[in-house]
């Protein structure tokens, strides 16, 4: 996103953000499950919301996580999202699992 955004922009911007998040995570992690939830409404008035950034939860089930500890899995998610972590996402809850861990 370019320009300066505020809290009032969040509802308008988040569907686009979620689509971009989905594209980036799918390309990097080849997930069998990818769910993205917009939690921004729970944080109205929060500093990140005032700056126009969103709050999200992602659930990712990917073979890329096999054999990796939680911190390494989160780093893969952050790397996939790249600059969105500075420009579009204020807070991110990550639930990362392998296919074997979902059974």
pLDDT at 2: 46
The string of pLDDT tens digits covering residues 44-62 is 666 655 566 788 999 999 9
Euclidean distance between CA atoms 30 and 89, whole angstroms? 21
User: The pTM is what?
Assistant: 0.81
pLDDT at 1: 43
> What is the fold of 7-102?
GMP Synthetase; Chain A, domain 3 (3.30.300)
Q: With pLDDT > 70 as the criterion, what percentage of the chain qualifies?
A: 75
Give pairs for 66-72: CB < 8 Å, separation 24+.
66/98, 66/100, 70/96
Between 46 and 38, where is the model more confident? Answer: 38
Going from the C-alpha of 59 to that of each of 3, 50, 100, the distances in angstroms are 29, 25, 15
């Amino acid at each position: 996103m370019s320009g300066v955004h505020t809290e009032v922009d969040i509802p308008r911007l988040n569907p686009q953000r979620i689509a971009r998040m989905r594209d980036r995570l799918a390309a990097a992690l080849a997930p069998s499950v990818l769910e993205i939830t917009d939690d921004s409404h729970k944080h109205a008035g929060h500093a990140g919301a005032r700056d126009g950034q969103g709050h999200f939860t992602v659930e990712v089930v990917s073979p890329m996580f096999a054999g990796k500890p939680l911190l390494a899995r989160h780093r893969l998610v952050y790397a996939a999202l790249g600059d969105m972590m500075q420009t579009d996402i204020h807070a991110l809850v990550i639930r990362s699992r392998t296919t074997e861990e979902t059974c």
